[in-house]
Amino acid sequence: MNLSQAILEALESLSSNKMRSGLTVLGIVIGVAAVIAMLAVGTGAQDSITGSISGIGTNLLFVFRGAPDDSVQNSKPLTMQDAAAIADPFAAPSVQMVAPVIEGGFLIAAAGEQVNTSVSGVTPDFFPLRNFVIAEGEPITEEHLLGRASVAVIGPELADSLFGRHDGIVGEDLTINGQPFRVIGVWEAKGGGMFGSEDNRALIPFTTAQTRLIQRRTRDQVDMLLVEVVDSESVPQAVDEVSSILRTRHRTDVGADDFTVFSQQDFLQTAATITSVLTIFLGGIAAISLLVGGIGIMNIMLVSVTERTKEIGLRKALGARKRDILIQFLTESSLLSLFGGIIGIGFGWLIAFIVERVALASGTPFYPRIGIDAVLLATIFSAAVGLFFGIYPANRAANLEPVEALRYE
């Protein structure tokens, strides 16, 4: 029996029981669609998270107080003097710009609305370093720092919460922790970030935050240093330079650092690891549906063998070989799985498309991505399921004795 003849006979056999074949195919459709959709969602989540981290800025280092494993007790705080030392081109030639930041959570009120959110004291270098583009108004300037001005640049999400709009609000008044501030600018939407929404926060002059809102143990203490490196190739060298400067200033030994330096690559690798595990987990759960579908195929093929026992006996009596019977039933199970896989790919794409539309409608830019690897994996897996769960019924049919099969009632 050649392959084309086996396929034709399999199609004829399956079409004679359309309802049963359709329900069997449905199990594979659900399994493949779930695998495709879950992998697409996982890949889309990975793209979204890594894209948000990449959008924070280019070639950035984040310097925090304390050792990564909290092994160093009584760590010294980061200070403005640390920032100035790192910004020295002779001490750190790989560093292009340094922006100190202090942060706190406060109640912001305006126009009868109140929002609890993050307030950061920043310098003018913060805006180009973090790729904050001003949509209207102006950013914080050196004049604002020198005058300790009561001005604020706010995100569009915060503007919507307070004023019901995010345009035409320059010059509006708001209060932070009961103290009056004037809005001088609104930046373009950036979306979510690794520290929460980038658009639901306020930025005020660093000196104003120091003196009026955010009190620290020492006047020049900062919460974080943002360091921009001259280019991506110089990031490892910049990490060494920054670490060396801080070790010297804090008088710590190598291996006993009381600070932590993160690069964007560190965040990207961590995010990629987490989302990869999530994708595998989701795909594994979805694959269980394929397993259930495969069991359904085996069940139906066993029923088919029982129903067609006389037919099998007659074929073998007329000269059909064991291999011919085996191929016939394996072809039927493989076709069931193949049809389910093809239809499942289409349904998986449809589910991913619906998820994308729902996300966009809710204001969350999320784009599930169906890769060729996911399609090949689902197709190959579904075909393997059909073959694996079809082997036992096919082998059982092929081993029937012709005489006993013809006498079967």
Transcribe 330-390 into DSSP letters.
Answer: HHHHHHHHHHHHHHHHHHHHHHHHHHHHHHHHTT--------HHHHHHHHHHHHHHHHHHH
The fraction of the chain above a pLDDT of 90, given in percent, is 12
pLDDT tens per residue, range 282-321: 777 767 777 777 777 777 777 776 666 666 666 666 666 7
pLDDT of the residue at 205: 93
Say if 140 falls within a structural domain.
yes
Residues 303 and 361 occupy one common structural domain: yes
**Residue 255: predicted pLDDT:** 66
The dihedral region occupied by 195, where left means phi > 0, alpha psi between -120 and 50, and beta the remainder, is alpha
Please report whether residue 116 resides in a domain.
yes
C-alpha 146/C-alpha 374 separation (Å) is 57
Same domain, 98 and 166: yes
116 and 240 co-located in one domain? yes
- How crowded is residue 382: how many other Cβ atoms within 10 Å of its Cβ? 29
Helix (H) or strand (E) holding 117: strand 113-122
In a domain, 60, yes or no: no
User: Rounded to whole angstroms, what are the CA distances from 306 to 11, 77, 303, 398?
Assistant: 19, 78, 5, 12
**Same structural domain, 244 and 288:** no
pLDDT of residue 194: 47
Assess whether 228 and 119 both reside in one domain.
yes
Q: Are 241 and 95 found together in one domain?
A: yes
Q: What is the pLDDT of residue 143?
A: 92
- Tell me which of 200, 231, 257 is where a domain ends: 257
Total domain count, the chain: 2
Backbone angles phi, psi at 272, to 5 degrees: -65, -40
Q: How far apart are CA 143 and CA 267, in angstroms?
A: 34
What is the reported pLDDT for 203?
94
Q: In the block, which residue shows the tokens 């929460």?
A: 196
137 and 236 share a domain?
yes
**Shared domain check, 296 and 252:** no
Model confidence, pTM: 0.60
Report whether 138 contacts 184 (CB < 8 A). yes
Same domain assignment for residues 220 and 279: no
Q: Are residues 10 and 92 in the same domain?
A: no
Note down the domain range covering 330: 3-53+269-406
**Residue whose C-alpha is closest to residue 214's, from 102, 343, 134, 320:** 102
Residues of the chain with pLDDT under 70: 1-3, 5-6, 9-10, 13-14, 49-58, 67-74, 191-197, 254-255, 265-268, 270-272, 286, 305-320, 363-365, 392-394, 396-409
Same domain, 129 and 232: yes
In a domain, 184, yes or no: yes
Structure confidence at residue 262 (pLDDT):
80
Residue 63 lies in a domain: no
